[in-house]
Structures are given as structure tokens and as C-alpha cells.
Amino acid sequence: MGEIVDLGEYAGGSAEFFADPYPVYERLRRLGPVHHVRTPGPGPTEELWLIVGHEAARAAFTDPRLVKTPPWGLDGSDVGRHLLFTDPPEHGRLRSLVTREFTPRRVAALAPRIQKITDELLDDMVPRGSADLVAALAFPLPFVVICELLGVPDIDRGRFRRMSIQIVAPTSGEEEAAAFFEITAFLDELIEDKRCTAPADDLLSALIRTTAEDGDRLSSHELRGMAFLLLVAGHETSVNLIGNGVRALLDHPGQLADLRADMSLLDGAVEEMLRYDGPVETATHRFAAEPVDIDGTVIPAGAPVLVGIGTAGRDPERFEVPDRFDIRRDARGHLAFGHGIHYCLGAPLARMEGRIAIRSLLERCPDLALDGEPDSWLPGMLMRGVRTLPVRW
């Protein structure tokens, strides 16, 4: 396709695209693996290149010509150098320093605490008979977990939710810039407080102290960037995994009944939730370091590129009858957490939170059902989820 595809117009409107982008992605996949597109509003719109389809996306994730560092450098909204804005060898250095402390053992040890937080949230929610599942469970659970993991003191949940949403799903450039400024100031103060207090066991304190064998450490700028990445990405993915996963179950009562009857299906069900309607719709921006030819279409040097994760999960070349939600499907190989060197560090934590939250919710609410339509889908093409999910039991 030579023309620019306006994704909102292609779907019949921006709201329609955000509610269900998959038919648009299917039409694009049939035409080829890469397209010059205009992103839908509200919020900042862009002209960029979108890669669709499972194999094309998987290849793009490991293509050294598609880099993470913007060719013009970082602007004033930058909160610090972190893994999503860096390429080798800097990326390997940062990831090595972070994984020294953000270990599988540290994540696994969180399971009892995640269960306790879930139980407390459900204790408050269940007697009411109905709730917005996002506000009552899907948001507060991963938010409290990541704050405790990082050692973030009590902060206003409403304020943080507003900042986080404006960063991952902005409705205007001004609101997005204000949210970046606000969270940057918050993180600077938090890091300085931790430097000046007695050593603690939390992850952020450990990252401040950690030193590689050669004496390398995270700079203040890098610490702020990594704290931002862990705090925002560390909860947003889980919020939408829980919300989208529960909505998929409630939209497919036969699958819900099967899971209730056999909870040994839960691990596979979570993988199917990630494939079918995962929390991340497209990966964060990449840039063409040189002209990149993909199946005869050339992405010009310097152009921004989005790798489609949601479209990869619905590719019929990879998954049979991909629009069918089937918790018994072997969904392994999906790209919900990316692929290659930028594979999501927090994937084990998100999976654990999803399994615990969904199992506990179904056990405590045997008659769980939707209580109206979701209020609105998040705008933008980064995170896939709803602002509210009304349910009753």
C-alpha cells in the first residue's frame, strides 16, 4: 500500500478502533506485513510504520536495523535512561545491573504477599455485590505490589493512576508532558530520600547500592529512568491483563464454566488471555537506523516503527481460528511480553498477579457477571484495556 492508512478512519472512527482494533489489523495483514499509518486520536497522533503479523513482528523484535534510541536524542519529557530507550551495548549493561537485584527468587517470594493483598481487596469488594473491577482489584493489586517491591511510600492512588494513564494512554500532549514532569519530580525526591536513609530491603534501595564486578553502577539519571520503568510498566501490564482476562472469560461463559470446573487449566488460560486480548497492543517505538526493506516495502531511515503485538496474537498463520477464545489452546509462542533482548523483565510478576487475582476472584464470586458495558477503552496504541469494568455477583 502506497498511501497512508488512517487507522481511525479505517475502523469507522477512533472509538471503534480502540474498542476493537482486530478487524483493522486483519485487513492490514492480508495486504502485507508493514504499512505507513496515521495513529488515531484523541491525544497526539503520529505518522509511522506499523508491522503486523506474528512472523513479521517476531523478526522485527530482533532486527538490529530497528533501534530503540531516537535518532534525534531524548527530549524534555525524558525521565531517564532505561531499557526501552537503549540499544546494545548500553542496554545489556543496564539490564545486567537491574537483573542483579530483580531476580526470579525475589519475584517468587512475593506470592504470599500478592495473595494477602488480593484477599484484602476482595474482603472489601465482595460484600458490595457489584463493583468496578478495575478500581476494586485490577488496579490496586499490582499498584500496591510494585510500590511495596520498590519501597515507594504511601502515595495517593488516584493521583498516581491519573499520571500513569496520561503517560501510557495520553489524551493530549499537554497532559502527557505535565504527567512526565510530575512523576519525574516525585522520583527525584524518592531516590534522594532513599540515599539519605538507612539501607532498606526494597528493590529501589538495592538498585541504588548495586555494583557490578567492574565497579559499574547506575547513575542518578539511570536510576530515575529504571524506577520510572518499573513503577509504571510494572503495574500497567498487570492491570490490563486482569481486566482484559476477566472480560474475556465473562464474554465466553462456556470457557468460564470450564475453568471453574478445573482450575488446573488456569496457567494455560492466562496464556490464552495474553494472546487473545493482551495488555500491550504495540511495543514502544523503534526507529529505522537505515532504510529497512520488509517484503518489498522500504521503511525510510529515521522513521518511527511500531511492532504490533495484538495483531501477532490474532494471526491465523500462527494460531488456528485466532479470534476464538479457547483456554485449552496451546498459546505458547505469543508475543504479549515481546521477544528478544527487550523481552519484558516483569513477565513472571505479571503472570503471577494474573493467576492469583483471577483464581481468587472466581472462587469468591461464583456468580460473577458483567454489569453493563465498560466505560471506555484506553486511547492510544500502547496499552490495551478499559478504564472501568462494571461487574456484579
Q: Which spans in the chain are helix H? A: 7-11, 14-19, 22-31, 54-61, 90-99, 104-108, 111-125, 133, 140-150, 157-168, 173-195, 203-209, 220-251, 253-261, 266-277, 310-313, 347-364
Tell me the C-alpha to C-alpha distance, in Å, between residue 42 and each of 15, 309, 375.
9, 21, 16
Catalytic one among 169, 227, 233, 350? 233
Active site (annotated) includes residue 353: yes
Q: Closest Cα partner for 137 from 110, 117, 163, 153?
A: 117
Catalytic one among 56, 227, 344, 357? 344
Q: Please, what's the b/e burial string for 163-173 (b: 16 or more CB within 10 A of its CB; e: otherwise)?
A: bbbbbbbbbee
Active site (annotated) includes residue 281: no
Q: Do the bridges between strand 47-51 and strand 304-307 make them parallel or antiparallel, or are there none, so unpaired?
A: parallel
Place of cell 486480548: 277
Distance CA 235, CA 56 (A): 28
Query: Please, which residues bridge with residue 324 across strands?
Result: none
Active site (annotated) includes residue 46: no
Contact at 8 Å (CB) between 137 and 365?
no
Contact at 8 Å (CB) between 318 and 312?
yes
Active site (annotated) includes residue 236: yes
Catalytic one among 169, 238, 283, 360? 238
Catalytic one among 353, 357, 360, 365? 353
Tell me the C-alpha to C-alpha distance, in Å, between residue 196 and each of 32, 189, 253, 333, 390.
55, 11, 54, 45, 44
- CA neighbours within 13 Å on the CB side: how many for 238? 31
Catalytic one among 14, 138, 179, 236? 236
Active site (annotated) includes residue 147: no
Please list the active-site residues: 233, 236, 238, 344, 353
